[in-house]
Amino acid sequence: MAIFDNFRQLLVSSHEPRTFMNVSLTAKLEELVNEKVRSGMYHTASEVVREALRLLKLRDDEARRAERQFGPPSAPDEERRSTRRKPRDGRRRRPRR
């Protein structure tokens, strides 16, 4: 429910003065934006991009809130393991040839 409350707040504050920016998109992202406009959900490509940025901000805000509440996310097991393991007796391994 907090996400929707935040979204309403963003909508209310969306009457701020606008600036213009050119953005380069990949062909796939451009097609996604065009599909959203063609679907009638949005009137312009700018509306699609603004909505995407609002949702990105909400996601980031929720992640920060979760990190404050639960602590930083832990690294996956693969990242925690060292790629070079030492032999159990403590000696260094010789490089393979």
Instruction: For 36-84, write each residue's pLDDT tens digit.
Output: 999 999 999 999 999 999 999 999 999 999 999 998 877 776 555 555 6
Quick check: is 79 in a domain? no
* Residue 85, in any domain of the structure: no
The answer to the question of residue 49 being in a domain is yes
Domain containing 32 equals 7-13+21-70
Backbone CA torsion sign across 88, 89, 95, 97 = negative
Whether 90 is in a domain gets the answer: no
Report if residue 54 sits inside a domain: yes
Name the pLDDT band for 95 (thresholds 50, 70, 90): low
Q: How many domains does the chain have?
A: 1
Tell me, yes or no, whether 94 lies in a domain.
no
22 is written with which tokens? 């050119």
95 inside domain: no
Which segments within 1-97 are labelled E, that is strand? Answer: none
Does 80 fall in a domain?
no
**pLDDT at residue number 1:** 44
Token digits for 79? 């990242």
